[in-house]
Structure 1
Amino acid sequence: MDTKRWSMEIEITEEGNETFARAVLFSRDKEHLIGVGQARRNPADPMVHEIGDELAVARALADLASKLLTAASSDVAKATGSREPVHLSLV
């Protein structure tokens, strides 16, 4: 069995009522994909940092997943010689 290891780095930054997340996926090919996400707290809501972190990171991971699917779709099209885009989904 061939085991591959990819790693991910997630960076979270807070600025006032906004939280930003950046998720970087490093593959074995030394290439990487970046997903970004943002959350904005309503000033009337209580300040719970974890909620902003969770939302921003979830959005960054969703963005990253979308970019990874696009890359996989492009790779499938190239590998099969297809000129039509290959439609892939998360489920």
Structure 2
Amino acid sequence: MRTERWTVLVNISEHSDHTSADARLHSRDDIAGRGLARRNPSDTDIPEIGAELATSRALSDLAHQLLDASIADVEQATSHPATFRS
């Protein structure tokens, strides 16, 4: 049996009404995702909401990149086009 630990580090930056998040997966390959959120000036300033939205977008971007890397690895290993179903 083999066990691995992969860690995702999320850095969140807030600048007035914009929030950005960078999610970096530390594994055999480093992969990074990015997410942005913008508060409408007429909305109440609740920083946690911007952080949550930007982070969810960064993690979604990271997940898509990880799936693309998986497909590329399968195609390289099999020399055949790969398609994955959810």
Q: Same fold (TM over 0.5)?
A: yes
- Aligned partner of 2:23 in structure 1 is 23
- Aligned partner of 1:38 in structure 2 is 36
**What is the percent sequence identity of the aligned residues?**
44
How many residues are matched?
86
1:51 to 46, 49, 67: 49
Deviations 1:27-68 (A, max 9, x none): 0x2x20000000000000000011000000000000000000
TM normalised by structure 2 equals 0.95
1:76 aligned counterpart, secondary structure: helix
- Aligned partner of 2:10 in structure 1 is 10
Gaps of 5+ in 2: none
Deviating above 3 A after TM superposition, structure 1's stretches of 4 or more consecutive aligned residues are none
Gaps of 5+ in 1: none
Question: Is it true that 1:87 corresponds to 2:48 in the alignment?
Answer: no
The CA deviation at 1:8 is 1.1
